[in-house]
Amino acid sequence: MTEPRLETRALGRSFGALKAVQNIDFKLEAGARHALIGPNGAGKTTFINLLTGVLPPTTGSVLLAGRDITATAQAERVKLGIARTFQINRLFRGLSVLENVCIAVAERVGAAPAMFYPAGRRADVIEESMRLLETLKLADVARRRVSELPYGRQRLVELAITIGLKPAVLLLDEPAAGVPSAESHIILDAIEGLPKDIAVLIIEHDMDVVFRFAKRVTVMVGGAVFAEGAPKEIEANPQVRAVYLGQAGHGAGRQADHA
Amino acid sequence: MTITASPAEPAAIVARLDHPAARVLTRRHRWRWWEALPWAAAIGCYFAFPDYLGFGAELLIAILFALSLDLALGYAGIITLGHAAFFGAGAYAVGMLAFYGIWTEPITSLLLAAMAAAVVGLLSGLVLLRTRGLTLLMLTICTMALLQESANMAHDYTGGFDGLPSLPIAPVFGVFEFNPLYANTQYVYALAVLAVCFLFVRTLVYSPFGQSLTGIRENLLRMHAIGSPVRSRLVICYTISAAIAGIAGGLWAQTNAYVNLSAFDLDRAAGVLIILILGGYGRLYGAFVGAIVYLALEHFLARIYPTAWQLGLGLLLVLIALFARNGILGLGEALWRRYGATLSGRYRAGRAAS
- Nearest-CA distance B134 → chain A (Å): 22
End-to-end alpha carbon distance in chain B: 52
Verify whether the Cβ–Cβ distance A108 to B5 is below 8 Å: no
Secondary structure (DSSP) of A26-90: EEE-TT-EEEEE-STTSSHHHHHHHHHTSS--SEEEEEETTEE-TT--HHHHHHHTEEEE-SS--
Which of B18, B26, B75, B207 is the best mutation test for A, with the most CBs of A within 10 A?
B207
CA atoms within 13 A on the CB side of A68: 7
For residue A94, give the nearest of B331, B282, B79, B323 by alpha carbon.
B282
pLDDT at A254: 38
**Minimal Cβ distance to A118: which of B20, B22, B206:** B206
> What backbone torsions phi and psi does residue A193 show, to the nearest 5 degrees?
-85, 0
Verify whether the Cβ–Cβ distance B203 to A116 is below 8 Å: yes
Query: Which residues in chain B are contacts of A136 at CB distance < 8 A?
Result: 3
Which of A90, A105, A154, A185 is the best mutation test for B, with the most CBs of B within 10 A?
A90
**Minimal Cβ distance to A195: which of B2, B17, B228:** B2
pLDDT at A159: 93
Class of domain A6-92+167-258 as given by CATH: alpha beta
Cα-trace Rg, chain B: 22
Classify residue B284 as left (phi > 0), alpha (psi -120 to 50) or beta. left
CA B45 to chain centre: 21
pLDDT at A257: 39
β-bridge pairing A82-85 and A169-173: parallel
Per-domain residue ranges of chain A? 6-92+167-258
β-bridge pairing A224-229 and A18-28: unpaired
Q: What is the mean pLDDT of each run of 10 residues along chain A (259 residues)?
A: 85 91 92 90 91 93 93 92 92 95 96 94 94 92 94 92 94 87 83 90 86 90 90 87 61 38
Helices (H), A136-230: 151-163, 184-192, 207-213
Residue B219 in contact with partner chain A when CB distance is under 8 A: yes
- Nearest-CA distance A109 → chain B (Å): 11
Q: Is A175 in contact with A204 (CB distance < 8 Å)?
A: yes
- How far is it, in rounded angstroms, from Cα B118 to Cα A123? 33
The ipTM value here is 0.86
Query: Which residues in chain A are contacts of B8 at CB distance < 8 A?
Result: 127, 131
Residue A135 in contact with partner chain B when CB distance is under 8 A: yes
Verify whether the Cβ–Cβ distance A90 to B1 is below 8 Å: no
DSSP for residue A115: -
Residue A170 in contact with partner chain B when CB distance is under 8 A: no
- Over residues B125-152, the pLDDT tens digits come to 999 999 999 999 999 999 999 999 999 9
B-proximal residues of A, 202-221, CB under 8 Å: none
Of all residues in chain B, the one with the smallest CA distance to A106 is B208
Residue A145 in contact with partner chain B when CB distance is under 8 A: no
- How far is it, in rounded angstroms, from Cα B121 to Cα B100? 25
pLDDT at A186: 83
pTM higher than 0.95: no
Query: Which residues in chain A are contacts of B203 at CB distance < 8 A?
Result: 115-116, 118
Residue B199 in contact with partner chain A when CB distance is under 8 A: no
> Cβ atoms within 10 A of the Cβ of A248, count?
12
CB burial of residue A247 (10 Å; 0-12, 13-18, 19+)? exposed
Query: Which residues in chain B are contacts of A134 at CB distance < 8 A?
Result: 16
- Nearest-CA distance A152 → chain B (Å): 18
- How far is it, in rounded angstroms, from Cα B275 to Cα B295? 9
Per-domain residue ranges of chain B? 35-322
Q: Is B318 in contact with B281 (CB distance < 8 Å)?
A: no
- Over residues B94-132, the pLDDT tens digits come to 999 999 989 989 999 999 999 999 999 999 999 999 999
The CA–CA distances, whole Å, from A135 to A106, A108, A194, B197 equal 19, 19, 10, 42
Which residues in chain B come in under a pLDDT of 70? 1-8, 341, 343-354
* Helix, strand, or coil (residue B133): helix
How big is the A-B interface in CB pairs under 8 Å?
166
Verify whether the Cβ–Cβ distance B1 to A126 is below 8 Å: no
**Minimal Cβ distance to A75: which of B27, B208, B228:** B228
B-proximal residues of A, 91-130, CB under 8 Å: 91-99, 102-104, 106-108, 111-123, 125-128, 130
Verify whether the Cβ–Cβ distance A143 to B227 is below 8 Å: no
Query: Which residues in chain B are contacts of A139 at CB distance < 8 A?
Result: 19
**Which stretch of DSSP H or E encloses residue A6?**
strand A6-15
For residue B148, give the nearest of B138, B135, B158 by alpha carbon.
B158
CB burial of residue B303 (10 Å; 0-12, 13-18, 19+)? exposed
**Which stretch of DSSP H or E encloses residue B125?**
helix B106-128
Residue B22 in contact with partner chain A when CB distance is under 8 A: yes
Secondary structure (DSSP) of B4-46: SPP---HHHHHHHHTSHHHHHHHHTTSPPGGGGHHHHHHHHHH
CB burial of residue B180 (10 Å; 0-12, 13-18, 19+)? exposed
pLDDT at A246: 55
> Cβ atoms within 10 A of the Cβ of A118, count?
21
Verify whether the Cβ–Cβ distance A130 to B208 is below 8 Å: no
**CATH number 3.40.50 is the correct assignment for the domain at B35-322:** no
Residue B318 in contact with partner chain A when CB distance is under 8 A: no
Q: Is B286 in contact with B150 (CB distance < 8 Å)?
A: no
End-to-end alpha carbon distance in chain A: 43
Residue A232 in contact with partner chain B when CB distance is under 8 A: no
B-proximal residues of A, 41-100, CB under 8 Å: 52, 54, 74-79, 83-84, 86, 90-99
Q: Is B60 in contact with B236 (CB distance < 8 Å)?
A: no
Query: Which residues in chain B are contacts of A143 at CB distance < 8 A?
Result: 19-21, 24
pLDDT at A187: 86
Rounded (5°) CA angle B4-B7-B11: 120
Verify whether the Cβ–Cβ distance B29 to A93 is below 8 Å: no
Query: Which residues in chain A are contacts of B204 at CB distance < 8 A?
Result: 115
- Nearest-CA distance B241 → chain A (Å): 14
